[in-house]
Amino acid sequence: MRKFVVNVLLFGILCIISIYIVLKMTDGYSDAYYLRFTTPKQSNFIIGTSKAAQGMNPAVINKILHKELYNYSFDISKSPFGPAYLKSIQRKLSKEKKDGIFIVTVDCWSIYSKCKNPNDIASFGENSSSVGEIEQVDQNPNFQYLTKYMSGNYYKIIFKPTVAQLHENGWLEVSLDMDSTSVARRTKNTLVEYKNLLSLYQFSQVRLDYLVDTIDFLNQYGHVYLVRLPVSPKLMDIENQLSPNFSSLMQLPAEKSYGFLDLTSKNKLFRYTDGVHLSKRSGTLVSEEIAHWIKNSERDTDTKHHKQQ
């Protein structure tokens, strides 16, 4: 009997060790969000939804700014502006330095709500998402995430999808066929989805206020730059229908920041995988443009500061 119990214990220990080893194999191919909750706390951020997650490559920006920006963007269901996203940002931020660079990307979807009362915080969908519920955002392995948000998808740890890869710096690299037929098909389907959202989304003053609160918080640790990323002209039409006064809504956030760069005037210059998200090549070009804009802004700020002294 004693030998049986010992064998059972040994078997159990081996099973636990095996499971631990498999879970440690979770990487950027296994899940599109997991690594954001396992990497260390960061001093420089890219903030936003999936437009920023896919369209802004920190590696490109870091070479120009000589900083280590981290892409802490998710998607419109997880990271619209609100208390959940702000708390997650606060948890992820390393508060040791005060010279950070923070790129906060904005669009109408991140200040609108898809609920009956757009200002009812208790009804915000992201509250029950990983962004709203994960408290340890720099734990590796992150068992809270693995048990709750990877459940049913553990096979992806071994049999890894290859379309999307979340890099250690937070950039979500999506590799799709970019031939005209594939792009047209994806764009058509995606735009139908966004048109259907027009009747569901409503402006949220609370979310706009939390955008301002997010900027105020990050300003304590560096310089915040506001950016509106380019989108396809057809999606721009949809966004204009949803929020025709978006530019005026950005007046206060822009005043709180160190600058606001609206790239939607250049929508036609870039390519998109589905009408919403920048292609990898276009994402590189946009990342470079934003980085040079910030570099020039930082230089002007330093010059002005020295003159005042």
145 CB-contact burial (10 Å; exposed 0-12 / middle 13-18 / buried 19+): buried
Q: For residue 237, which phi and psi values (nearest 5 degrees)?
A: -60, -40
Per-residue confidence (pLDDT) for residue 302, from 0 to 100: 59
Alpha carbon distance 256, 102 (integer Å): 13
Q: Where would I find the H helices in the chain?
A: 2-24, 50-55, 58-65, 83-92, 130-133, 143-148, 155-158, 180-197, 205-219, 233-242, 246-249, 251-256, 280-308
- What pLDDT is recorded for position 43? 97
* pLDDT at residue 154, rounded to an integer: 59
- Average pLDDT over the chain reads 89
Distances (CA, A) of 50 to 32, 55, 161, 294: 11, 8, 18, 21
pLDDT in tens, 193-224: 999 999 999 999 999 999 999 999 999 999 99
pLDDT value of position 153:
61
CA distance 73 to 40: 15
Output the pLDDT for position 305: 44
Pick out the chain residues at pLDDT < 70: 1-28, 151-162, 302-309
pLDDT digits (tens, 9 = 90+) for 239-263: 999 999 999 999 999 999 999 999 9
Q: What is the structure's pLDDT at 151?
A: 62
